[in-house]
Copies of this chain bind each other. A is one copy, B any other.
Amino acid sequence: MNIMSSPERTWKTIESGPHTYKEALHPVVINNYGKWKYHEIPRPGVLKHVGESGDTLFTVRAGTPRQDTVDMVRQLCDIADRYCDGHLRFTVRNNVEFLTPNGENVEPMIRDLEAMGFPVGGAGNCVSSVSHTQGWLHCDIPATDASGVVKSMMDTLYNEFKHMEMPNKVRLSTSCCSINCGGQADIAVVVKHTRPPRINHDHLSMICELPKAVARCPVAAIRPTVVNGKRSLMVDEAKCICCGACFGACPAMEINHPEHSKFAIWVGGKNSNARSKPSTMSIVAHNLPNNPPRWPEVTDAVGRILTAYKAGGRPWERVGEWINRIGWKRFFEETGLTFDEDMIDSYRHARTTFNQSAHVRF
């Protein structure tokens, strides 16, 4: 549909959808499109792809902050123009990749990238970049700043990004509220509210559609009431499961709190179908404080998990598969984390998480 409404507007919208991609592909890619034979990872951060034709293509991957600037992107373009005939791509995990058929370009490219502060790595059995979200920079409902958490974590995990010493790929994610826009991962750091919302009755009656907020609550904890002569809502705190869904529907349901919105750490998420079926994550730590600018308690916990996994995981085991083999009991022992009663599921389908077997660990 073509739209033309503002009088002084001259451009007529073209609803084009995604940008076209063919002009973005390197000629060697075009020639081998759908005809690649195998790949190798000759060194950390470098992939070598071989086509059925015998053609080879090198991919050099580097970490970025995801929260970029036009300056930074232009720097990346400079690299691509210099070494890759102007071709590059980004990974789903916010790393940048430079593609070249010329093996001799790899080494100098790596040198230039590192000099610019872009670490080369993230491929194969290592800790890649952290999938993360907007936080205090932009979102309207965050309890923290995911980008800051990521910077803090990756500073401690820098070497694990640049080497391949893990049993398998390690995917991390960080999200600024319980919605978890960052996704399921081997290890995820996600905000967890611990206290029911405090209702701003003035705002509520002015700006919110009350029935919508009521309908959002999965446990029917929100009821209509009258406050200062105006229609409003109240929360049954005994029922509330601190999910924050009402906050998304109505900002007057203030669940964020500088002290009581904390962090939880989750492990074992896996989206791939390799070996085991995909799996959701399980909570392994919570009530960790929200401590900008370095969030030390969080990075410490993640570090302990990774240390144990690196030491005890077998080839090809993802974090969750390592845990399935060694058992949750030993996971908690080796990481120094503590299983507590809040970690016993009490939500829908909880029954299915009971250990319905005599499979036991000592």
Task: Report which A residues bind B (CB closer than 8 A).
Answer: 273, 277-278, 349, 351-352, 356-359
Contact = CB atoms under 8 A, between A and B. Distances in A.
Contacts of A278: 356-357
Contact of A359 (B273, B356, B358, B359): B273
Contacts of A351: 349
Nearest to A276: B357
Contacts of A356: 277-278
Contacts of A359: 273, 277
A356 B358 CA distance: 26
A184 to B, nearest CB: 12
Contacts of A352: 349, 352
**Interface residues of A: mostly helix, strand, loop or mixed?**
loop
A349 B356 CA distance: 15
A277 B352 CA distance: 13
A241 B349 CA distance: 20
A275 to B, nearest CB: 10
Nearest to A358: B273
Contacts of A357: 273, 277-278
12 contacts: A273-B357, A273-B358, A273-B359, A277-B356, A277-B357, A277-B359, A278-B356, A278-B357, A349-B349, A349-B351, A349-B352, A352-B352
A351 B357 CA distance: 21
A277 B324 CA distance: 13
A356 B277 CA distance: 7
Contacts of A273: 357-359
Nearest to A360: B273
Given A273-B359, A277-B359, A349-B349, 8 more contacts: A273-B357, A277-B356, A277-B357, A278-B356, A278-B357, A349-B351, A349-B352, A352-B352
Nearest to A357: B277
A329 to B, nearest CB: 16
A349 to B, nearest CB: 5
A280 to B, nearest CB: 9
Nearest to A351: B349
Contacts of A277: 356-357, 359
A215 B348 CA distance: 22
A356 to B, nearest CB: 7
Nearest to A353: B352
A353 to B, nearest CB: 10
A358 B273 CA distance: 6
A355 to B, nearest CB: 8
Nearest to A278: B357
A292 to B, nearest CB: 36
A349 B351 CA distance: 9
A278 B359 CA distance: 10
A268 to B, nearest CB: 15
A342 to B, nearest CB: 22
A149 to B, nearest CB: 29
Contacts of A349: 349, 351-352
A348 to B, nearest CB: 8
A6 to B, nearest CB: 47
Nearest to A355: B277
A165 B352 CA distance: 35
A224 to B, nearest CB: 26
A351 B277 CA distance: 15
A237 to B, nearest CB: 28
